[in-house]
Structure 1
Amino acid sequence: MTLEHLRELIPDYAKDIRLNLGSLTNETTLTDQQKWGAFLASAVAIGQPQVVKAFEAEAAARLTPQAMDAARAAAAIMAMNNVYYRSLHLLSNHEYQTLRAGLRMNVLANPGVEKVDFELWSLAVSAINGCGMCLDSHEVELKKHAVPALNIQAALRIASVVAAASAVLRSIH
């Protein structure tokens, strides 16, 4: 599955999504590694097979195997963390926020790519998974590394369009 084929599968009622996919693949705010890692992490986080295959194929031509694994790792670790930390945030009883998480998160310390790139991908996945606590945490880390708001916005735009494309394709296949 190629990205172009994926775009062709999106029906006309969702042509804005198709157009946004095209424009975001050509955006230049992020480095290629940041951009394609955000696409891949977002696709893996959603898990719609056609979308995952299309972005894996595109990313394979642009990312090292280590960066591809790191993007997948961002989706995996955030799948766990977003549920856990979103739950802490939503619970009325704040006692749980004082307890040690007790979950392994070693990949956060050594993701295999630059920390900024992994943080951008984790932010994108956290947006998809709807965890405000994690979004805030990753945005703070990115700001510590002087990442401009436009770069953070680009990662969020990628996550939103990948999520929309996945929703459309799930509904028609």
Structure 2
Amino acid sequence: MSIETLKQQLPDFAKDVRLNLSAIVNDETLGPETKYGLLLACAIATRNPRVVEAIEREATPHLSPKARDAACAAAAIMAMNNVYYRFVHLVSNKTYASMPAKLRMNVLANPGVSKVDFELWCLAVSAMNGCGACVDSHEKTLVEAGVTAETIHTAVRFAGIVQSAAVALEAAALPVAA
């Protein structure tokens, strides 16, 4: 399945999602490896097999095996970190903020792709997962690395579009109301 096939599977109520997916494919704001690594990390974060399959097929020609693994790692490590740091950020009892996380995160230091790309992918997945602490941390790191607001904005916009495709597919699978 490709992104084009995915678009065809979206119901009529998701016309905007189809148009936004077309915009992603044609957008050249990000370089190919950055863009397709981002899309793959976001697709994995949706946990929707059809979205993952479509985007993985589209991404494969643009990603080295190391970049593919890094995109998978970004989705996996943020699944863990976003739960933990969202809890620490949201809980009223601030005792937890002074406790060591005791979570292995070695991939952050050596992701197998540029640190900027990996941070951008982690930011997008963190935005999808709703972790304000991680969003702030990754955005700050990207800004310090000289990444433009336009690039950061594009990454988060792409994450929203990928998530909307997964939600539209889930909504389309709902039983018809009587």
| Short-chain TM bin | over 0.9
Q: State the TM-score, normalized to the length of structure 2.
A: 0.95
Structure 2: gaps spanning 5 or more residues: 174-178
Shift of 1:99: 0.9
Which segments of structure 1 move beyond 4 Å, counting only runs of 4 or more? none
Shift of 1:29: 1.4
RMSD: 0.7
- What are the Cα deviations for residues 84-104 of structure 1, in whole angstroms up to 9, with x where unaligned? 000000110111111110010
Structure 1: gaps spanning 5 or more residues: none
Q: Which residue of 2 aligns with 1:124?
A: 124
Shift of 1:67: 0.4
Q: Counterpart of 1:44 in structure 2: which amino acid?
A: I
Q: Which residue of 1 aligns with 2:73?
A: 73
DSSP-derived class of the 1:142 partner: helix
Q: State the TM-score, normalized to the length of structure 1.
A: 0.98
Q: Which residue of 2 aligns with 1:8?
A: 8
Shift of 1:17: 0.6
- 1: CA distance, partners of 2:136 / 2:38: 17
Shift of 1:114: 0.2
Shift of 1:55: 0.7
Q: Which residue of 2 aligns with 1:84?
A: 84
Alignment of 1:141-156 (within 5 A): 141-156=141-156
- 1: CA distance, partners of 2:102 / 2:128: 24
Shift of 1:22: 0.6
Q: Which residue of 1 aligns with 2:104?
A: 104
Q: Which residue of 1 aligns with 2:25?
A: 25
- Larger deviation: 27-36 or 138-147? 27-36
Shift of 1:130: 0.2
- 2: CA distance, partners of 1:160 / 1:49: 17
DSSP-derived class of the 1:39 partner: helix
The count of aligned residue pairs is 173
- 2: CA distance, partners of 1:62 / 1:11: 28
Q: Is 1:54 aligned with 2:54?
A: yes
Q: Which residue of 2 aligns with 1:165?
A: 165
- 2: CA distance, partners of 1:43 / 1:92: 32
Shift of 1:2: 1.2
Shift of 1:159: 0.4
DSSP-derived class of the 1:159 partner: helix
